[in-house]
């Protein structure tokens, strides 16, 4: 609760919803992109480059009237595994948890392999999370290929580009 009260001057408090705190600087907009894909109607306030006790600077996101479940939060694990999720009710933090890294992602990302069956059939996606010395790798349950995390954290941008191409 201490961090949140300390930032009330930087970002307006919310009555009910979710505050994602301790997002590494620069990852806030990526998370915003994903949240907008999931719910384009959500009312969201973003704070960038806020002062932080533990990080040199951090991003913070407040979402009105949407109380995250652990599953909602886990979808953001590749962007900010150590971020804190605060569930707010009546201006008070009702529950608080760290996002953490799940053992797998189900129906969160699309497979970067264009020849994977999930890109051609109405079947959901599943990726197993493997931690290696080089970082996090995701292995597709279907095509069995392994990919580095950047191929997933860049997907919103790529989706955006694909959308732009169809619009143009």
Positions touching other proteins (CB under 8 A) are 113, 115-123, 132, 140-146
- Tokens coding 6: 């300390």
CB 85 within 8 A of CB 20: yes
CB nearer to other proteins: pick between 113 and 153: 113
Q: Report helix, strand or coil for 160.
A: helix
CB nearer to other proteins: pick between 70 and 144: 144
CB nearer to other proteins: pick between 123 and 159: 123
Nearest to 44 by CA among 71, 26, 65, 73: 65
Minimum separation from the CB atom of position 143 to other proteins (A):
4
CB nearer to other proteins: pick between 76 and 108: 108
CB 91 within 8 A of CB 13: yes
Minimum separation from the CB atom of position 141 to other proteins (A):
7
Minimum separation from the CB atom of position 6 to other proteins (A):
44
> From the centroid of its chain, how far is CA 154?
12
């Amino acid at each position: 609760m201490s961090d949140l009260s300390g930032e009330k001057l930087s970002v307006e408090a919310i009555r009910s919803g979710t505050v994602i705190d301790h997002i590494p600087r620069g990852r806030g907009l990526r998370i915003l992109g994903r949240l907008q894909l999931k719910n384009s109607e959500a009312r969201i306030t973003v704070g960038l480059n806020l002062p932080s006790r533990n990080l040199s600077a951090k991003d913070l996101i407040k979402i009105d009237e949407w109380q995250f479940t652990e599953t909602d939060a886990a979808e953001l694990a590749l962007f900010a595994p150590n971020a804190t999720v605060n569930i707010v009710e009546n201006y008070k933090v009702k529950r608080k948890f760290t996002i953490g890294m799940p053992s797998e992602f189900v129906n969160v990302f699309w497979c970067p392999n264009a020849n994977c069956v999930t890109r051609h059939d109405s079947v959901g996606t599943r990726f197993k999370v493997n931690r290696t010395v080089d970082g996090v790798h995701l292995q597709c349950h279907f095509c069995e290929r392994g990919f580095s995390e950047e191929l997933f954290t860049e997907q919103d941008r790529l989706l955006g580009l694909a959308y732009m191409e169809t619009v143009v």
